[in-house]
Amino acid sequence: MRTQVAIIGGGPAGLLLSQILHHQGIDTVVLERRSRAYVLSRIRAGVLEASFADLMRAAGASERMDGKGIVHEGANIAHPDGMFRIDFRALTGGNVVIYGQTELTLDLYDARDATGGTTFDNCSGVELHDIDSTAPYVTFCHGGQDHRLDCDFIAGCDGFHGPSRQAIPEDRRTEFEKTYPFGWLGLLSETPPVADELIYASSARGFALCSMRGPNLSRYYIQCPLSDDPEDWPDDKFWRELRRRLPDTVAEQLISGVSVEKSIAPLRSFVCEPMQWGRLYLCGDAAHIVPPTGAKGLNAAASDVRDLSQAFLSHYRDGDGHALEHYSSTALARIWKTQRFSWWMTNLLHRFPEQSGFDQKMQQAQLNQLAVNSSAQRVFAENYVGLAL
Ligand code: RFL
Ligand code: PHB
């Protein structure tokens, strides 16, 4: 079997890349380890930058998102001394779109099916070969048979645990990592959201986030110890704890209900340098992870896809390999800015086990400044809606 670009991983990055390349006349094959049902059951991101929405249009997969996505022109930050709103529209002219990763992945799968693109689900034993030659290939097992996929290039879109990053020789890559001493316990419920816009809450009991997926579908998170298990958190206990971390006026409005999903995600900052090796290009979580506090993970993956698809287009259409050659340095310059914002926001809003009284005062001083200082708010808003990179 042969294709122009072999894409490993059928998560949002791999699917988006495959559809954008399809519309540019570039042939791809997507190899996904899991079943489609499994990929579609993962509840993850919910906040898209406007530039992501543009990419969904370029992928021919935006119809449902344009109808059902909810435009947010601001977000709220609650803290022990009060609550304030950051007005994205007034400060930047921009906005974000609330649309779940689950929906978006479904739209991309549907678009791929409609255009007849080849996707192998349930692949096992995916291995990359000869990536530093001009004739790389991928081997995998599907339906009990071994296959070989020859290609011009490989896009490693296989998330944090996939094999692509490991294919870069260990002595040629550097991994920068920070793990945080807590996780996020997330709960999805078929209840109306507590507010029209997101609320990020810093409280003495730890961080909480009120988000949403639709008019009757809410997504809430609370910071929890890494040692906790979702089983430790029956619904009643979750709602009680969430209310205690929110301002009274918000807690009083909260409508609780039966959870339809509950899971714990660890928080991590991670970057692999470089993001390319030979004819292998890493995209999304395969190359970098951000803690979810700034809602940037999926958006960073989409920006990689934008850069890489443009680089492939220059190569195939114009015979110009410059952008491909510089893919890693271009992407990394952008990623470190995203890392900085996600790390800063995580440090601002969470309680850390070893935090001193002084550290807490510094957090509070920063929150008090953000509450009143329009320059600080503008920096926040610019980063949140997405830097023009
Ligand atoms: P994914 O989604 O992990 O997809 C990788 C795919 O590769 C497959 N794979 C393999 N396939 C073949 N062979 C192998 N050996 C393979 N190994 C793995 C996997 O099965 C999978 O299907 O990576 P991708 O595509 O780069 O997408 C990244 C995003 O999923 C991620 O960054 C976001 O979900 C992060 N994130 C958020 N991002 C945002 O932009 N906004 C948000 O609001 C936001 N909220 C979140 C989040 C992540 C969270 N968790 C659970 C970590 C909230 C949470 C709680
Ligand atoms: C979500 O809705 O899942 C969500 C929203 C904002 C974040 C992280 C996750 O910062």
Q: Which ligand is nearest to the CA of 186?
A: 1
Rg (alpha carbons) of the chain, rounded to whole number: 21
State the chain's maximal CA–CA distance in angstroms.
Answer: 63
CB 185 within 8 A of CB 235: no
Per-residue pLDDT of 264-282, as tens digits, reads: 999 999 999 999 999 999 9
Ligand nearest the Cα of residue 208 is 2
Residue 211 lies in a domain: yes
- Kindly tell me if the per-residue pLDDT of 288 is higher than 90: yes
Please name the residues in contact with 334: beta carbons below 8 A apart, sequence gap of 6 or more. 300, 303, 307, 387, 389
Report the pLDDT averaged over residues 35-62.
91
Q: How confident is the model at residue 44 (pLDDT cuts 50, 70, 90)?
A: confident
**Residue 107, CA distances (Å) to 57, 61, 124 in order:** 11, 6, 25
Domain assignment of residue 21, given as a range: 5-72+95-177+268-345
CB-based contacts of 46, cutoff 8 Å, min separation 6: 98, 99, 100, 101, 211, 212, 213, 219, 295
Which DSSP category does 25 fall into?
T
Decide if pLDDT at 297 tops 80.
Answer: yes
What local confidence, expressed as pLDDT, does residue 352 receive? 97
Which of 185, 198, 213, 296 has the most ligand 2 atoms within 8 A of CB, as the residue to mutate?
Answer: 198
Same domain as 171, residue 36: yes
Catalytic positions are: 72, 200, 292, 296, 384
* CA-closest candidate to residue 6, choices 24, 27, 23: 27
294 in the same domain as 146: yes
What is the spatial distance between Cα 295 and Cα 308, in angstroms, rounded to a whole number?
22
Our count of domains for the chain comes to 2
How does pLDDT run across 186-225, given as a tens digit for each residue? 999 999 999 999 999 999 999 999 999 999 999 999 999 9
In short, whether 61's Cβ falls inside 6 Å of ligand 1 is: no
Q: Does residue 302 carry a pLDDT above 70?
A: yes
Determine the atom of ligand 2 nearest the C-alpha atom of 212. Answer: 2
| Pocket lined around ligand 2, Cβ cut-off 6 Å | 45-47, 198, 209, 211, 219, 292-293, 295
Distance (Å) from CA 47 to ligand 2 centroid? 6
Residue 248 counted as domain residue: yes
The residues, any chain, with a CB within 8 Å of residue 74's CB and separated by 6 or more, are 85, 86, 87, 88, 89, 197
Kindly give the number of the ligand 1 atom that is closest to the alpha carbon of 47. 43
CATH number at residue 191: 3.30.9.10
- Please check whether residues 217 and 275 belong to one and the same domain: no
Confidence of residue 307 (pLDDT cuts 50, 70, 90): very high
Residue 184 near ligand 1, beta carbon < 6 Å = yes
Point out which residues pair with 29 in neighbouring strands. Answer: 6, 118
Q: Are 138 and 166 within one domain?
A: yes
- Ligand 2 site-directed mutation target among 209, 263, 342, most atoms within 8 Å of CB: 209
Check whether residue 26 and residue 62 sit in a common domain.
Answer: yes
Q: Is the CB of 299 under 6 A from ligand 1?
A: yes
Task: Look at residue 90 and tell me if it is in a domain.
Answer: no
| Structure confidence at residue 43 (pLDDT) | 80
For residue 386, report the distance from its CA to the centre of ligand 2, in Å.
Answer: 15
Q: How far is the CA of 231 from the centre of ligand 2 (A)?
A: 22
Q: What is the mean pLDDT of the chain?
A: 96
CA 338–ligand 2 middle distance (angstroms): 15
pLDDT above 80 (res 388): no
Nearest ligand for residue 101 CA: 1
The verdict on residue 89 lying in a domain is no
pLDDT of residue 144: 96
CA atoms 23, 27, 33, 36: torsion sign? positive
Q: Confidence band (pLDDT; 50, 70, 90) for 41? A: confident
DSSP state of 132: T
The verdict on residue 84 lying in a domain is: no
> Which mutation among 39, 70, 101 tests ligand 1's pocket best, with the greatest number of atoms within 8 A of CB?
101
Claim to verify: residue 43 and residue 145 sit in the same structural domain:
yes
Q: Give me ligand 2 centre to Cα 265, in Å.
A: 12
Strand order in the sheet with 217-224: 82-87, 74-79, 199-203, 206-214, 217-224, 174-189, 259-273, 288-289
Same structural domain for residues 325 and 215? no
Q: Domain of 130: which CATH number?
A: 3.50.50.60
In a domain, 108, yes or no: yes
**58 and 138 fall within a common domain:** yes
User: What's the whole-number mean pLDDT along residues 226-245?
Assistant: 98
Decide whether any atom of ligand 1 lies within 6 Å of the 197 Cβ: no
Q: Answer yes or no: is pLDDT of 389 > 70.
A: no
Do 67 and 200 sit in the same domain of this protein? Answer: no
DSSP for 282-295? E-GGGTEE--GGGS
Residue 86 lies in a domain: no
Asked if residue 54 has pLDDT above 80, the reply is yes
The pLDDT tens digits for 357-386 are 999 999 999 999 999 999 999 999 999 999
pTM of the full predicted structure?
Answer: 0.96
Residues 214 and 360 in one domain: yes
Say if residue 42 is in the same domain as residue 188.
no
Q: Which numbered atom of ligand 1 lies nearest the CA of 186?
A: 55
Contact between 4 and 151 (Cβ < 8 Å): yes
pLDDT in tens, 118-148: 999 999 999 999 999 999 999 999 999 999 9
Which one-letter DSSP state was computed for residue 382? H
| pLDDT tens digit sequence for 150-163 | 999 999 999 999 99
- Number of the ligand closest to the Cα of 12: 1
CB 244 within 8 A of CB 203: yes
Write out pLDDT tens, residues 74-102: 999 999 989 999 999 999 999 999 999 99
Residues 263 and 288 in one domain: no
